[in-house]
Amino acid sequence: MTSFPDGGDTRKVQTAVIGRAGSDVPVFLPYEHDEFDTFMRGRSRDEFYCGTLLGGCGKKLTPKRYTEKKCHFAHRPPVHCRRTANGESSADHLYIGQALAQWLARQNHRKAKASYRTVGDRPGGTVDFRLSGGRQFVRVQMARLGLRQWQREAEDLARGVDCVEWLFGPDSMLAYDRVETHGYAIRVECRTAGATRQVRIGTQLPGNTIEWTTLSECSMTRAGIITPSLAHTPQGIVPRRSTEAAATPAQVSFRLADDTVAFTGAAPRNEVPPPAGTKGRVYDADIQPVGSAALRARIVLPPITPAPNPSRVYVLGGGVTLTPLGADAQDEAPAWLLSAGRTRRLNAEEAAAWSGLKPALPESAVSGPTQTAQPAPTPDAPRPRLSDPEIVASLRQSLERTARSRGRVTWSTLVRAMGDGAEPITPERRLKLLVAMDFPRAQDRPMLSALLTTGGDGPASFFAAVLTELGGAPGLSSQEAHRIHLQELERAYRLCGGRAAEASPRGKGAETPSTSAPQPQGVQEAQKSPAVREPISPAGLPALQLVLALREHLRARAKNGAADVTWRELSEATGFAFRLLSDERCANLLFRVDEPLHDRGLMYAALVVADDGKPLPYFATILQRHGRPVPGLLSEVHWARQLEVGRIRDAYTEAQRPQKAAGAAPAEAASVPVAQSDSAPQVDVSEAAAIGTLTGLRWRFDRARQAGDLAEAKRVWQTAGRLYGTKLTPEIQAEHRNDLLAMSEWVRDRENENVLAELRPLLENLLRRDGAAADNTLRDGLNRAKELKRKYHGKLPEDLQAALGACGERLDELTASRSEVTPPAPETDRESRPSREKLSELAAVVRAVLEDVAQGGTTTTWSAMRHRPGADLPHLHPDDQGEVLVLVDVDTPMSEPLLSALVTTNNGEMHPLYRHVAYSLGRELPVRQDELHAQWQLDVLRLYGLWKHR
């Protein structure tokens, strides 16, 4: 390739997209002027864009051909583009997305579609695919990312899917860590080949060697991508060379179930390399399978697994494999080898079940001399494992109780208060739990982490880390952290109801404590509130007992006017720790509280909300089980709950009015009010639900607009317009009119861009054609151009109008030259058209069809009406179609919209005859195209409402 000087010109753009600004189809302009002609063959100069997926401005680019320097794309002035990546690799993420989508289609994933995410300032930082209905995920990591941040993203992705396959781009350094943990990593890169960029797949193996191949040589399985350098074994995907080296006749492996083998006394064997085909650390330990005696064995654990404590008991999981060690093993080596993907430490009660395992040290000595010697009392029955949200709720409840008593507490005391339900919590998990408890920071919410102490009067050692994760400046000095700690501590005491007198015992009139001996911080909170009664677990109690307790308390709270009741309040009022129950059990209890629920019955379960005041995540499920309308959006769920709460409040208000008027009515008369009658007006209910739906639709439209999804945005806009025209009063319509106009303008602008992107090259191609042989091509192209013109909102640009007129004149010239040989019969067309009487008969048929369409809440086309059973409509000239529609609406009252508005084009847009019919019948319509389109939409929506009950 010829070398050209760059000359320091940073405006040169080597890649673009074709078709439209949001396209994901990339092109690469070759440097050589000889390849430029090949690249431009069959292409127009107007189809290249500085794509938004490339980080560009979305404007058109012009390909420039040079002989003395590199060929490149150039912006058309004026230039206001902030695109930073312009070179040949700037569109590699699009090339990779296109290549993977085509390859996955050949692997029976035909609906696979790439989605691109910007990471930092790099567009296309990741390329994602969701396969098998979302159960399998493929991510191409193109942008550089820190190891910790990538590990967090990998954990988040792995939670919701069965398998995550990672591919790493040339700029990503994470493949080296992937090789350490999995034995291999899959790389991807692009190489320039003529006028395109070819995608290659590489397998990075231990030793940092990369074996490259093409996508056609790879296959997609449920376990992940298989390259020629990898093999699919019962243990998973491993490098092929390791399987070949380990494949000996004496090698036999057995797969064991998770949590069936426990071990203790693990001693690291750093001098012993892991067996061939495995990667990890080697330990010798005492193991005990379920139902067997203890014996000595060798264990291989992943490198990322923390070293097991020899004084603790663990179980193996994550794919446990048992392999007998061969005869060539060392004499002192155990006879069995166990490999596992993870370990789980057992508490004292669980470890007692493995009677053959005796830890090297007693449990009381494990924690060291700094820990308290008092063992936690063993509960009568093991408590279920607590999830992170349950631990956060328990922490918040305990710390709020501590704040009310103006005390402080240690972390170990909080963990012991949770019982065995809380597994041993690492410092990293502790930080995550405390951040979740205090997020977000607000003026009306204290930072409860300030109540934790690790000794002394200052903040806990991890307080600064919690503060940084909540948005504080990193690297705070100890003085600044101490100042913020004192401020948050006082806010916690003040907002949680602590008394100022208790905060200053040396103040005037304060009592001196009876004992001067210092009390441990860990027991300070328990001594200050001895009367607090811990709620009992409802796990083994009859459901009827729990339902009756919930029903009684919710009705009492409704009588007092309460609208929001949390599970925490229900636990304190009833004495049952409902936080220990699963969401499914809680949903079933709330459902039975209102069972049976009649059409107008009061739904007391709507009073229960989450700790943050939002509807319960399973509230929609309770609505569905009761047969109530099920909302589809989060905003609709909120409005549905508010409506139920409003009905309860109104019912109790109505029940208390006769009691107040009589003055002597018994108090029980208003305890359970009678539900409202079916004759109560429902206008407010439907309107409130429509407003909530519009809020959700605006959110969906913004998401579609940001993603450039025109089809989704148009669907949302049409749905919002239907609600706007049928469910809202004129006053409420005025408040939301601007939102609908903004949606309409964006959709029309994007549709106009698509029309121009196809119409402009079409007309240029037609104008270049010459000769009589181009007659049919010119006619077909002109018909397509006219169809595109009808789709365009507003008036076409002047250059396109001129080009369209020139194409029409050329077609007339060709037709006139042919008509000299075979003159047409001028009256044939007129004689074949129907008479006035026939048009009146057709109008009666069309009106009946349109009435049925209006009652069904849809629109129709001329083609659909012709093929409608029983209609028997002939093919009509456009002029005759207009006459029929005029006759259809000749008797329509002026106060009603025209039925002919329901006739649309084939793509569901306003028919060109709409304005003609209205003008013929003396109807006034807006002059501007956008206002006319909005008027037509309102007419269609009004027709739905008028004919729905006729």
Are 177 and 171 within 8 A, CB to CB? no
- Phi and psi torsions of 553, nearest 5°: -70, -40
Residue for token pair 């069309």: 846
Tell which residue, 411, 500, 420, has the closest CA to residue 448: 411
Inter-residue contact 342 to 288 (CB < 8 Å): no
| Phi, then psi, of 289 in degrees rounded to 5 | -70, 160
Q: Can the peptide bond before residue 78 be classed as cis, meaning omega within 30 degrees of 0?
A: yes
Q: What's the sign of the alpha-carbon dihedral 273, 275, 279, 283?
A: negative
Helix (H, G, I), strand (E, B), or coil: what is residue 401? helix
pLDDT in the model for residue 382: 46
Hey, is 464 helix, strand or coil? helix
Amino acid (one-letter) located at 833: R
For 107-139, letters b (16+ CB in 10 Å) and e give bebeebebebeebeebbbbbbebbbeeeebbbb
The gap from C-alpha 660 to its chain's centroid, in whole angstroms, comes to: 52
Confidence (pLDDT) at 915: 85
Q: Which long-range contacts (CB under 8 A, 24 or more apart) does 554-560 make?
A: 554/593, 554/604, 554/605, 554/607, 554/608, 555/604, 555/671, 555/672, 557/607, 558/602, 558/604, 558/607, 558/648, 558/649, 558/652, 559/652, 559/670, 559/671
| DSSP output for 792-825 | SSSPPPHHHHHHHHHHHHHHHHHHHHHHTTS---
Can you tell me the distance from the alpha carbon of 262 to that of 239, in angstroms, rounded to the nearest whole number? 29
Strands 136-141 and 163-168: parallel
Cβ atoms of 229 and 206 within 8 Å: the answer is no
Cα separation, 52 vs 59, in Å, equals: 9
Q: What is the pLDDT of residue 773?
A: 43
Closest CA relative to residue 727, chosen from 680, 681, 684 = 684
Q: What is the DSSP string of 860-926?
A: B-HHHHHTSTTT-PPP--HHHHHHHHHHHTTTS-TTS--GGGGBB-TTSPBPTHHHHHHHHTT----
| DSSP conformation class of 379 | P
Residue 302's SS3 state is: coil
Cβ(118)–Cβ(54) below 8 Å: no
Q: Residue 157 in contact with residue 126, Cβ under 8 Å?
A: no
What are the structure tokens assigned to 805, written together?
A: 């007129």
Other beta carbons less than 10 A from residue 663's beta carbon = 6
The candidate with the shortest Cα–Cα distance to 167, out of 180, 185, 153, is 185
Residue for token pair 């990591």 = 141
Exposure on the CB side of residue 410, measured as CA atoms within 13 A: 14
* Axis-axis angle for helices 634-662, 683-707 (nearest 10): 160
Judged by DSSP in three states, 244 sits in helix
Report residue 588 as tokens. Answer: 């079933």
| Rg value, the chain, Cα | 37
For strands 320-324 and 281-289, give the pairing. unpaired
Residue 182's pLDDT is: 86
SS3 422: coil
**Is the preceding peptide bond at 596 cis, omega within 30 degrees of 0?**
yes
In this structure, are residues 777 and 765 in contact, taking their beta carbons and an 8 Å threshold? no
- With residue 539 as reference, give the H or E element that holds it: none
* Rounded-to-integer distance, Cα 716 and Cα 737, Å: 15
- Residues 667, 560: Cα–Cα separation, whole Å: 13
pTM listed for this prediction? 0.33
Token pair belonging to 458: 């200052």
Q: What residues does 116 pair with on adjacent strands?
A: 127
- pLDDT per 10-residue tile (average), the chain, 950 residues: 43 84 89 81 86 90 84 84 86 93 88 88 89 85 87 84 88 85 91 86 87 90 88 82 53 78 88 73 89 86 82 87 67 77 84 80 40 39 62 83 83 76 74 80 75 78 81 70 83 65 34 34 36 60 76 81 82 80 86 79 88 84 80 71 81 64 45 42 47 70 81 83 73 76 84 86 75 64 82 80 78 62 45 74 87 86 80 80 88 87 84 85 79 84 81
Give 59's contacts (C-beta < 8 A, 6+ positions apart): 21, 49, 50, 75, 76, 81
In angstroms, the CA 538 to CA 547 distance is 11
Report the pLDDT value the prediction gives residue 783, as an integer from 0 to 100: 81
Question: Among candidates 333, 338, 331, 246, which has minimal Cα distance to 288?
Answer: 338
**Sheet-wide strand order for 196-205:** 115-119, 122-131, 136-141, 163-168, 185-193, 196-205, 209-213
**Whole-Å CA distances, 335 to 256, 295, 322, 327:** 17, 10, 11, 9
Amino acid at 361: L
Read off the tokens for 770: 């010459």
Residue indicated by tokens 């994760």: 469
